[in-house]
């Protein structure tokens, strides 16, 4: 069994800026898992945008706190707390935080 906390040193050491907008950290990676690429979280400050990008894996963004405008492919939609967004492999996507506070997103990425 592997148990990781958001505040574990192994998690904090992975801190990076995701797509020029959010502070992100890897909780679990393919180092341990076979079918899932990673489990991460991102904190997107008010007014910031995770720029449009394309990933070689399918993803789920689960909005835990805050929200904003999510774009996947040609679709744009307001998202908020409790929303899960499926992002197919190869689809361009972005998230703009249009709320007053931080938006907290849990990200799961898996191979198709």
Q: What is the CATH number of the domain that holds 91?
A: 2.60.120.10
Residue 77 lies in a domain: yes
- Flag whether 95 is in a domain: yes
Residue 42 lies in a domain: yes
pTM for the complete prediction? 0.94
Residue 85 structural domain: 32-110
Residue 17 lies in a domain: no
List, in sequence order, every residue forming a beta bridge with 107; answer none if it has no partner.
40, 61
Our count of domains for the chain comes to 1
Q: Contact 68/44 with Cβ under 8 angstroms?
A: yes
Q: What is the pLDDT of residue 78?
A: 98
**H or E element in which residue 106 lies:** strand 103-110
Predicted local confidence at residue 32, as pLDDT: 86
Per residue of the chain (112 residues), what is the pLDDT tens digit? Answer: 999 999 999 999 999 999 999 999 999 999 888 899 999 999 999 999 999 999 999 999 999 999 999 999 999 999 999 999 999 999 999 999 999 999 999 999 998 8
Burial call 78-103: b when 16+ CB within 10 Å, e when fewer = ebeeeeebebeeebebbbbbbbeebb
Evaluate whether residue 45 is within a structural domain.
yes
């Amino acid at each position: 069994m592997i148990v990781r906390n958001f505040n574990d040193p192994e998690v904090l050491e992975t801190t990076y800026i995701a797509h020029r907008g959010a502070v992100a950290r890897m909780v679990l990676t393919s180092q341990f898992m076979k079918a899932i690429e990673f489990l991460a979280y991102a904190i997107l400050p008010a007014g910031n945008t995770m720029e449009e990008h394309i990933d070689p894996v399918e993803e789920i963004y689960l909005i835990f706190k805050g929200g904003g405008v999510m774009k996947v492919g040609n679709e744009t939609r307001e998202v908020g707390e409790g929303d899960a967004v499926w992002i197919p492999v190869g689809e361009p996507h972005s998230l703009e935080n249009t709320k007053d506070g931080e938006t907290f997103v849990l990200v799961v990425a898996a191979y198709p």
